[in-house]
Amino acid sequence: MDTREVLIVNPTSSNQVDPDFIESEKRLHKWLPEHPAETIIATGFIASTPKNIPTTLKRDGSDFSAAIMGALLRAQQVTIWTDVDGVYSADPRKVSEAVILKTLSYQEAWEMSYFGANVLHPRTIIPVMKYNIPIIIRNIFNLSAPGTMICQLPTKEKRDDEGLESVVKAFATIDNLALVNVEGTGMAGVPGTASAIFSSVKDVGANVIMISQASSEHSVCFAIPEKEVDAVAKVLQARFRQALEAGRLSKVEVIHNCSILATVGQRMASTPGVSANLFDALAKGKDCVKALEAVHSRFYLSKTTLAVGIIGPGLIGGTLLDQLRDQAGVLKEEFNIDLRVMGITGARTMVLSNLGIDLTRWKELLKEEAEVADLEKFAQHVHGNHYIPNTVLVDCTADSDVANHYYDWLCKGIHVITPNKKANSGPLDRYLKLKAQQRSSYTHYFYEATVGAGLPIISTLGGLLETGDKILRIEGIFSGTLSYIFNNFTESRQFSDVVAEAKQAGYTEPDPRDDLSGTDVARKVIILARESGLRLELSDIPVRSLVPEQLRTIASAEEFMQELPKFDANIANERQDAESAGEVLRYVGVVDAMNKEGRVELRRYKKEHPFSQLSGSDNIIAFTTMRYKEQPLIIRGPGAGAQVTAGGIFSDILRLASTLGAPS
C-alpha cells in the first residue's frame, strides 16, 4: 500500500499534522477491495493532504502511521518493532538498575513520552486509545523478549498487598531547562497577569514545559528550555518594565541549569506514601542523575536494600563475608532483603564497587582491584551511592581508631554494627555521646557481638530493662579462652600445660597474656555495667590478672610460655584449696548493680553450680533481676570462634533490616 493514496492529514504547523480519520477511512474501504490480500505492507511516514499533495507525518511518523492504520482497521494490536526490549522504568544509561515494564497505561506512556522517555511520541498513542487497541513495543534483535504492552489498564482498586513499586511505574527526566519566576505582591488579585506573561512567552516562540502558580497569582513560575530563556527573560523585562519600576513586581528571576524529574504512575494520586518516599529519596540526590537513581531505587529495589561496608576482612570479617555470600540469595528471594557489599577495607588496601562486590570473588578482588585504604573515602563511597536508601558500616576490627569514627558516621545517617569493644568500653563520655546520638536519630548502632559473640546477651539485657525489670547482678564466664583453660585445669594437670594446649588449639591470642590479663573480660563487664545504667570507667574495674607480675614485661610470647611453668605452684595451690572444699575455680566478670560496681576475679563455685558444669570454651551468663531473683536467667553457649561471632554480627545486620522495614 502506498499510504499517500489512503492516509489524509491536515498540516497544523511546520512540525505537526492532524489525521483526517473520516476521509482516510473512506479511502481505505475503497482501497481494500481493489487489493485483496492476507498481508499488506504499507509505506510509513508519508501521507497526503486533502488536495492530494504528498506530505510527511513529521517526527516519529512511521510509528504514527502504524497507530493510524491500526485505528482505521480496528486492529487487535499494533506492534512497534525497535532496538530495545521494551519500555524501561528509567533511562538505563543513567540508572543501571532500570527494568523492562510489562505494561503501561496509555496515560502513563503519554506522560513518560512528554517527560523525555524514549517510549513513543505522545500523538502515536492518540489514534489507538479511542478503540482500546494495545500497542506492543518489541525488539527486532531479541525476539525472545516479550516487550511492553501499552493499553487501557483496568481501573481496579489498589489491593492491600500491592506495594508502592507497583503503583509507581517509571521515572523520566528532562534536562537543560531553566526556571523563570515572575513574582510580586502587585500581581495578587490582578486579573490577566498570567495571560500577559504567557502571551509574551508565546510571542518569542518558547516552549513552556511546566507551570506552577501561587495563589492569587502572587508568583508564576514556569520551566522552558535553557536555549530559549534569554529571549523570554528579555521580553518579560520589557513587557513588565513599568510594573518592575513601580514595585508592583519584585523580580523576573531566572534559575539556570535545571532538570525536571517526573514520577509516572496512574494510581499514585490515590495511594498514600508515594510523596513521602519520593521526597525522602530525592534528599539523597544532589544532581539529576543521582536523584533519578535514588528515587528509582526507592521504588524498584528490594523492600529493604542496604549498602554494606565491611571494615576488617580478617578472620571475623572474612567469615562474615562468606556467610553473606551463602545467604544473599535466600534473603533476597524469601525476605526481600538485598544486602549490597559496596566496599571492603583492610588496614592497607580496599576495594570499592558502585553496584555491589561479587562475594564469590571478594578475596581475589581485594588483591586484583585494590587501592590504598582510606577510611574517609571508604565511608563516603559506601554512603554516597545515592540510589540505595540505607547504609551500614560493619567494623570487624579491634581498632580504637576505627571506633573513634562511629559518632561521625551516626551523625551522617550511617548505621554502625560492630563486635569491636573499644567504643563501648572506652571513655564514658564517648559512650554516652554515642548512645545519645542513637536515641535522638533514626540511625542505629548495634553491638551484640561485643560481649558474647553470637549469644543474645546485649539484646536480653535490653529486653529486661525496656520491659521495666531491674538488674541486681550480672555474673558470667565471658572468656571462651579462660573457660577452656579452667574447664581443663584438673588435679592431674599443670596450669602452664593447659595454657600451652589452649594456645596450640587456637583458643588464645598469639600472646596468651592478652587473655590471661583479664582486660578483655573487664571490657565486657564495663559494657554490661553501662548498658545497665552504671556510669563506670574501665579503670574503675578491679581485675585479677593471671599473668605473674614477673612475666608481664617479658618481650616475647615464646619466652613467656617458657617461664610460665615456674609459677604453676601458686595457682595449683588455689585449685587444691577449692577442690578440698568440693569447689572449682572459674574466672568470672561481675556487675554488681546494687553497689554500683564491677570486678573481674577468680572465684570458687560448688560443683553443682551451673558455672561448674561448663565444657570446652562455652560462655555462661546469669542475670539476677527483680523478676529473676530466686532463679537467675541463664544464657549459655559458644562465646568465641569466627563462625559464631560472624553469626552474631550477621544477626545484627538482619535486625537492622527488620527495623528498616523488612519482614521479621
H helical segments located in 80-141: 106-114, 122-129
Amino acid of residue 460: T
Q: Is 470 a catalytic residue?
A: no
CA dist 633 and 646 (Å) reads 25
- The one-letter code for the residue type at 658 is S
3-state helix, strand, coil in the chain (%, to 5): 40, 25, 35
C-alpha cell recorded at residue 227: 536555549
Closest CA to 272 of 369, 398, 164: 164
User: Exposure pattern of 208-226 as b/e (b: 16+ CB <10 Å)?
Assistant: bbeeeeeeebebbbbbbbe
What contacts 24+ positions apart, CB below 8 Å, involve 226-232?
226/176, 226/177, 226/178, 226/256, 226/257, 227/176, 228/204, 229/178, 229/180, 229/254, 229/256, 231/204, 231/206, 232/180, 232/200, 232/201, 232/204, 232/206
In 3D space, the residue among 253, 225, 114 whose CA is nearest the CA of residue 172 turns out to be 114
Catalytic residue among 284, 524, 596, 629: 524
**Alpha-carbon distance values, 420 to 294, 394, 462, 513, 523 (Å):** 32, 10, 19, 19, 10
DSSP 8-state assignment for residue 158: P
One-letter amino acid at 418 equals: T
All 3 cell numbers of residue 660?
Answer: 528498616
> CA dihedral in degrees (300, 304, 305, 311; nearest 10)?
180
User: Which amino acid is present at 523?
Assistant: R
For residue 103, is it left (φ>0), alpha (ψ between -120 and 50) or beta? beta
Amino acid identity of 380?
Q
Instruction: Quote the CA–CA distance of 619 and 628 in Å, as a whole number.
Output: 20
**What count of other Cβ atoms lies within 10 Å of the Cβ of residue 251?**
11
293, 296, 298, 320: which is closest to 308 by C-alpha? 320
Question: Alpha-carbon distance 541 to 547, whole Å?
Answer: 17
- For residue 273, give the amino acid letter: G
The DSSP letter of residue 551 is G
Cβ atoms 635, 460 nearer than 8 A: yes
Closest CA to 590 of 478, 482, 431: 478
Positions marked active-site: 524
